[in-house]
Chains A and B, each alone.
Chain A
């Protein structure tokens, strides 16, 4: 775990989607990714009932802990705390980073932002790093309109001190422009979740980012 002032020790932030893993189970894909060296996983299964989410989080914590992979739980500091996750990932409309700091001080805090203003707010509220997107077109976010693009990514990078991960349609060939725009790292769901070979895909990200 890192403190509020230090940088994340990962450059690729893997976001889960158990539906994209099928027919493999989510724990199975997470384990393959961890074994291949992934540094951070965000469990994001928003449609699960709490009881099921808690059980899945317990299982994923057990796996990630074995590989020293950081685990973040989307939206639920109570579940993050209960399973001993490293952190919690805040949604823009969810509990604020300041709420998390106050009640769950042991949790690191990632926060999703979709504008420069939201990025500044999240920084002020105490987030440790930010996810900004969608940078490129991605079917899962198409209903929210046009992608944000690299210029807006750059504007967010310039507006805050926090490390920014670009998310949304970030393929391996689009990493370099993201880094050029000042991104600290990148995040993704389907690239690894839906990969035929999780290990090969993780290796590819590793070679592009120099580090996972």
Chain B
């Protein structure tokens, strides 16, 4: 049975920093109590990505945390991850559900209430909404959504809501107060001087 998703959601990134690998970042995060780690690596071959996913899935530190693969249902299955995160241009969620079954986690991206509703109706286990604030991790073609959109979406959805985009330690409490079940971060952990400590501080906001 899937447990209720709540807490910190790390998206691994080795482009904003190159001191730590995806595996190291995931290990830091699991040790700090991060609930969900999304493996996001568009720089390597599929064969290599599958190996890294399998390595992360087998980390002792993982315990009850979940490993989600960005975009790719096949890599998630072959690498033994717990689920997949799908953007608007990826495989349709119902198609992914058919391939993955009910036990695997599927998350979807949205940038407004209409998309968020559609993602939930398509059968996602969580809906990510963003970007909440300006972010430099990913190029965006639209303005930040802000906390008002987050509050609005939170009132309409039944599945857990992930806030993403520009979330820092100083903004985290406001985002939780606005109704986010999970905080998705990349720079706030990956680019921190001490990623494990940075993750722990975010995790503590949920305790």
Contact = CB atoms under 8 A, between A and B. Distances in A.
A52 B95 CA distance: 13
B91 A95 contact: no
Nearest to B77: A103
Interface stretch (B22-30, B44-52, B103-111, B159-167): B44-52
B45 A50 contact: no
Nearest to A51: B89
A110 to B, nearest CB: 16
Given A50-B90, A81-B99, A82-B91, A93 B46 contact: yes
Interface in B57-100: 71-75, 77-78, 88-92, 95-96, 98-99
Given A82-B98, A82-B99, A95 B89 contact: no
Nearest to A92: B47
A73 B75 CA distance: 15
Nearest to A58: B95
B99 A51 contact: no
Interface residues on B, range: 20 to 34
Contact of B90 (A49, A75, A93, A103): A49
A78 B90 contact: no
B149 to A, nearest CB: 24
Contacts of A82: 91, 95, 98-99
Contacts of A105: none
Nearest to B94: A82
Given A82-B99, A93-B47, A50 B89 contact: yes
B181 to A, nearest CB: 26
Interface string B14-57: 00000000000000000000000000000001111010000000
Interface residues of A, number: 20
Contacts of A177: none
B89 A103 contact: no
Contacts of A49: 89-90
Nearest to A82: B95
Given A54-B95, A78-B99, A95 B90 contact: no
B47 A78 contact: no
Given A76-B74, A95-B74, A95-B75, A51 B92 contact: yes
Nearest to A93: B45
A201 interface: no
Contact of A94 (B47, B77, B92, B99): B47
A43 to B, nearest CB: 15
Interface of B: 45-48, 50, 71-75, 77-78, 88-92, 95-96, 98-99
Given A78-B96, A95-B74, 20 more contacts: A49-B89, A50-B71, A50-B89, A50-B91, A54-B95, A76-B74, A77-B74, A77-B78, A78-B73, A78-B91, A79-B91, A82-B91, A82-B99, A93-B46, A93-B48, A94-B46, A95-B46, A95-B78, A96-B47, A99-B78
Interface of A: 49-52, 54, 75-79, 81-82, 91, 93-96, 99, 102-103
15 contacts: A50-B71, A51-B92, A54-B92, A75-B46, A76-B74, A77-B78, A78-B91, A82-B91, A82-B95, A82-B99, A91-B46, A93-B48, A95-B47, A95-B50, A95-B75
